[in-house]
A and B are shown apart, each in its own frame.
Chain A
Amino acid sequence: MTEKTTWTGGCLCGGVRYEIGTKPSSISLCHCGQCRRQHSHVGAYTGFPRDAFRMVKEETLAWYQSSEKARRGFCSRCGSGLFWEAMGEPTLDVTAGSLDESTELRARRHIWVEFKGDWYDIGDDGLPRLTSAERLAEKQGQGGNS
């Protein structure tokens, strides 16, 4: 079996396409209020070093400055949620749902769990659950985003 070395992805209409030349991190399921609104449920993100990323097609890509330090990228034609980018950080996050199958990645944990919507339970999936404080402390320890 050939080992996967490139991960490709894009939006629903194909106006945005990208390529990642390294194995992205396992997936974080984000329950924060911003992900809830933008993705309309739970955010699912995987991160990797920015220099491993190549934009193949971006004619319909739009950015929304969602906080002082971060912006969210989406397709302005089909509305697909694609990227989360923190200013000045060496990594970039893409939504797991924008990756082409098979991803060969796994969800590894839940983050910002105290902000989750009231219509679902995280359930007994065995994955670690980090509050926003725990996640922020972890990031400070890493010196960056994941």
Chain B
Amino acid sequence: MSANGDLPGELPGGCLCGAVRFVVTERPMGVVNCHCSQCRRFHGHFGAYITVPRASVRFDGDATLTWYRSSAKAQRGFCGTCGSSLFWQGDGEALVDVAAGSLDQPTGLATVRHIQVASKPDYYEITDSLEQFPESAPEPP
């Protein structure tokens, strides 16, 4: 794709059963893969997230959206009907993380980095050349 001319301006998305539907109205810079143990349990493999302002996520359907307090400072959102793992929301933060796989194709996005790689499990290797952070990292530029 050339420049940003061909990219969709908005990113629609939702869960497997379609009960949760939303539109992300602001394009993120890229996708971050999180190898922490919480993402691994939640997603069943590592997490892949975009980070956008909360105000840029507009819900068209959220009746089955369920929140789980996964730590003292954050919640994870999923669909209570189909179990799709959708959001990570830090308490009081202006940003929200949206799981990349919930976005409709094509996204026109690219993966930019790996975080929490010190927590990666033993059953896979990271074989690409993207930058890696042992723990957290600053938000993508």
Contact = CB atoms under 8 A, between A and B. Distances in A.
Interface of A: 10-13, 27, 29, 34-45, 62, 64, 66, 72-82, 95-99, 101-107, 117-121, 123-126
B41 interface: yes
B51 interface: no
Contacts of B68: 12-13, 77-79
Nearest to B40: A97
Interface of B: 14-17, 30-31, 33, 37-38, 40-48, 66, 68, 70, 76-86, 99-102, 105-111, 121-125, 127-128
Contact of A106 (B15, B102, B107, B123): B123
A85 to B, nearest CB: 13
Contacts of B17: 64
Given A117-B100, A117-B101, A125-B127, A96 B44 contact: yes
Nearest to B15: A37
A62 B81 CA distance: 8
B38 A101 contact: no
Given A37-B15, A97-B43, A119-B107, A79 B85 contact: yes
Most buried by B among A38, A64, A76, A123: A38
Contact of B82 (A29, A66, A102): A66
Given A72-B82, A117-B107, A118-B106, A95 B123 contact: no
Contacts of A76: 66, 80, 83
B44 A82 contact: yes
